[in-house]
Every structure is written in C-alpha cells, then in structure tokens.
C-alpha cells in the first residue's frame, strides 16, 4: 500500500519529485542504510479532510484540507498550515519531508509535518476565514496536540489564524492548551522574537559563511535582498546593522537600487506607510530579475521559490547566497552556481530560525515559563551558528556542496535514531 501511495499519488508533484531526488543524492553521499532511506521517502501519515464553511451569503462551500506527518522519530510533528488555492496533498507531503530534515539538522527534538487548505484566503472575509480555520482544526484535532503534532503559521495564515486554532483545540479539550500551535500572539502564549526569527537566522548563517569566505561585513561589501516581507525586511535590517552596504531590495512591486547603499530603516518606514517599495525616493527602480544579477558579494533570496534557474544562474555575480525563501534555486540553477564556485547556504539551514524559535515557544508554553527577547535571540544564534559549522564540517568531510551536506547530516541523525528505536512490531 505504501508503494502505491508513494508512487501514484505524491510522485506526480514536481516539488515532491525534487525533494525525493535531493534525498536520493543525500542518501548516496551519506551511505545511509537502504531500509532507513526507503522509510524516509514515505510519510508516516496523511489525512485528507472536508472543510464545509457557511459563507457570508448563506451558501455552504466545502474546501479540501490536508495534514501530513512525515516522520516523528525524534519527537512530535512540527510544521505550518498554509492557505493557498494551489495547495495539494503532494505539495504538503513534500514540505512535511523538508520539515523533518530541517528539525533534524538543527538538533530539535521534533519531527516533520505540514498542513494546508486549498483556498484563496484573499477572497474570504474575516468571519469566513475564522469559520474555515475552526472547522479545519476540528477535522484534524485527533492527530494534533502539544505531544503529537504542533502546527504553525505559513503562507496565507498568521498569528490570528493560530489563535483561532489554539482556541478551537482548547474548546474541544475543555481547557487552555497554548502549546498546540506556535506563531501565536504573545498575549496568548506566543514567544518574543518569533516574528523576526527567520530573518535573523538567515543573517547569522550569512555572517558565519562570510567569515569562511573572508568577506568583511563592512561598507566594502555589497548586499542585495530579494523580498521585503517578514523574512527579507528583517534580514535586510539585520545585515545593514552589521555595517554592510545593502544596495538593493525588492518586493512584489519591483526593486530599488542605490550603489551607495540604502537606508533600510527608512525603506521599512516607507513600506509601512505606502504598502510597497515602489516610489521610494533616492533610489533607481529595477526589476526583481535584475536584482538577482547585480554585482554584489552577498545575495539573499527571501521571496519566492524557483527565482534562480538554469536560465539565469550563470548571470548571478554574488559569491555567497543564503536562501531565506524555501526553494529559491532550482536544481539546474544550483548545479550551475556550484560549478561557478558560489557558496549556497541552503534553505533547510539558512531559514531554520523560524522553526527554532517555534520550538522555543512550544517549550515556554509547556513549561508555562516565558523568556525575555534577548534570551530568545541569544539561544537562536547559538543553535544557528552550531548548525552552520556542523554542516560546513560535513561539507568538507564528504567533499560535497552545502545543500547535499545539510540533507546528509539531517538524515544521518535520523538514521541513528531510527535504528536505535528499531521497527515495530
């Protein structure tokens, strides 16, 4: 049955096939036990649910929802819930697999999971989105919980969505259970520093990679950041505060460029007032595509997937790339970059700051003891720096690129745990 599911349902998705190809390469490089490798290519559990919602006009529309738990050898499942019109079971399965690898890589006692509802959240009113969230939570409530599977926000969801999930689950159980989700508002058990954690983590990794490449973090070093949302804006702000010259940033409205450097706090204020970067003064307008090909030392793609491909990778001039977004570089693009000698800090490592602080939030919730923001940030940096050097050491030991090394290291930790636990029955 597992082969039928793996071959006939999930493998029809391009992202899932790409993830499986990456795992195959990492298994080969790491010399993984073939039985463990086979188990890691198939999710532990996949739940498909109907989510009927009474719309504002009185009609009832039934949406399709998913929750996939890939592997929970190391601990409860962990992974976001996304609301998007193109969400599929296969995509969710692929993302759950990557969450397993990410949690393993950075040493968390968590497994990988992911959820989603096939819906365009921009077409829903607040009341409809709340009704959707509460019904979806009810339908998956039997497989989530602070000791089972801990969802979080993702594409199309936010802290308010997680508050609704937490409240719905708590109403079902009869008492407040803040540890069922992460990414909640601080007022109901969220963690300080959570919103900035992914962007901060990207910069922590970038700093360590720059030291190895002997790239100084000062005004001699030019940086470009694609994406100016929750991840990109924070990454731009943090790397700007280190003294580097951020010459370009971009969002959905396009990019802005100034060879003398941009005032990132001023850019953030502009976006807060105007909604987008477009029209920002004292800068030249450029496209998102042009930003990727600028003459800079460091490039941080923090927006969409598949922006660096086999078609434009040869034109990328940066010596160092840290993937703030998930999958911003295609396999073909990555191969070209590696051949050029570009160091790519992969998404599984570079943007792991979000799941690390989600772990911190979960720990604080189950202990009912909350930390100061400086403590959160300090612990985040410690784990990110340690994970980076672990991956870099594996890169040198296995004589491979950082992406393959990161996956290999994650899988080696899982292999050890799975072999120690054995196979039931």
Q: Is 102 one of the annotated active-site residues of the chain?
A: no
**SS3 of residue 243 by DSSP:** coil
Q: Which of 238, 280, 240 is nearest to 257 (CA)?
A: 280
Cα angle value 77/406/419 (rounded, 5°): 55
| Cβ pair 191, 376 in contact under 8 A | yes
| Cβ pair 43, 69 in contact under 8 A | yes
- Which H or E element spans position 337? helix 331-340
Distance between CA 165 and CA 145 in Å, rounded?
11
| Cβ pair 68, 89 in contact under 8 A | yes
DSSP codes, 25-87: HHHHHHT--HHHHHHHTS-SEEEEEEEEEE-TTS-EEEEEEEEEEEE-SSSSEEEEEEEETT-
Does residue 425 have a cis bond before it (omega within 30 degrees)?
Answer: yes
Distance between CA 293 and CA 242 in Å, rounded?
23
**Which residue of the set 102, 114, 129, 245 is catalytic?**
114
DSSP state of 190: P
In Å, how far are 9, 356, 375, 387 from 191, measured between CA atoms? Answer: 37, 11, 11, 22
Active site residues: 114
């Amino acid at each position: 049955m597992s082969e039928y599911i793996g071959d006939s349902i999930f493998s029809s998705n391009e992202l899932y096939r790409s993830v499986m190809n990456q795992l195959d390469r990492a298994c080969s490089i790491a010399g993984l036990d073939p039985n463990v490798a086979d188990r890691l290519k198939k999710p532990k559990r996949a739940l498909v649910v109907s989510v009927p919602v009474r719309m504002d006009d009185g009609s009832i529309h039934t949406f399709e929802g998913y929750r996939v738990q890939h592997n929970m050898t190391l601990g409860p499942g962990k992974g976001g819930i996304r609301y998007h019109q193109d969400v599929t079971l296969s995509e969710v399965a692929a993302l759950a697999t990557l969450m397993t690898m990410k949690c393993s890589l950075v040493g968390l006692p968590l497994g990988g999971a992911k959820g989603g509802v096939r819906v365009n959240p921009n077409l829903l009113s607040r009341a409809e989105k709340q009704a959707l969230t509460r019904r979806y939570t009810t339908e998956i409530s039997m497989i989530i919980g602070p000791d089972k599977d801990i969802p979080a926000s993702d594409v199309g969801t936010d802290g308010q969505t997680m508050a609704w999930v937490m409240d719905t689950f708590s109403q079902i159980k009869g008492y407040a259970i803040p540890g069922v989700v992460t990414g909640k508002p601080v007022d109901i058990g969220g963690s300080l520093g959570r919103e900035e954690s992914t962007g901060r983590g990207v910069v922590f990794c970038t700093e360590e990679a720059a030291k190895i490449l002997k790239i100084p973090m000062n005004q001699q070093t030019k940086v470009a950041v694609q994406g100016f949302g929750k991840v990109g804006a924070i990454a731009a702000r943090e790397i700007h505060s280190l003294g580097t010259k951020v010459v370009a940033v971009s969002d959905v409205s396009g990019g802005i460029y100034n060879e003398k450097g941009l005032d990132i706090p001023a850019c953030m204020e502009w976006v807060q007032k105007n909604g987008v970067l477009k029209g920002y003064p004292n800068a030249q307008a450029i496209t998102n595509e042009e930003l990727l090909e600028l003459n800079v030392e460091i490039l941080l793609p923090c927006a969409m997937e598949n922006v660096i491909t086999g078609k434009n990778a040869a034109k990328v001039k940066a010596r160092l790339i840290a993937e703030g977004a998930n999958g911003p570089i295609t396999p073909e693009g990555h191969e070209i970059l590696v051949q050029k000698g570009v160091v790519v800090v992969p998404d599984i490592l570079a943007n792991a700051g979000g799941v690390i602080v989600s772990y911190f939030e979960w720990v604080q919730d189950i202990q009912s003891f909350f930390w100061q923001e400086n403590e959160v940030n300090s612990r985040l940096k410690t784990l990110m720096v340690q994970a980076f050097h672990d991956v870099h050491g594996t890169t040198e030991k296995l004589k491979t690129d950082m992406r393959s090394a990161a996956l290999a290291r994650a899988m080696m930790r899982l292999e050890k745990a799975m072999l120690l636990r054995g196979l039931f029955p």
